[in-house]
Amino acid sequence: ILHDPPVLLLDEPDTGLDPASAETLARLIRSLGASNRAILLTTHNLERALAWADSVSLLVDGKIVERAPTSTLTTDGLRRWLVETGSVG
């Protein structure tokens, strides 16, 4: 972030954060995204994926099997993707 990169890769950036710090991070990520940066964020937290991202992709065995804008999804919809693709039982 310090060198103003055009692309940010964030792997589970909220792991270990308390709720207040996670919300501060969420505001930072949203503001960086609004400034025309590409942000690739991995998370296992479905609610955060919907709250933080503009779109969500589901990877299975390293391949994108589903993709949609978050404005068209719900947490239940994301869970359905996981079940339909066999990602969870």
31-75, pLDDT tens digit by residue?
888 888 899 999 888 888 888 888 988 888 888 888 889 888 888
For residue 49, give both structure tokens: 């994926």
Q: Is 1 among the domain residues?
A: no
Q: What is the CATH number of the domain that holds 70?
A: 3.40.50.300
pTM for the whole structure: 0.72
Show the domain range for 34: 7-84
Residue 32, amino acid? L
Number of domains, the chain: 1
Q: What is the pLDDT of residues 6-28, one digit of tens each?
A: 999 999 999 999 999 999 999 99
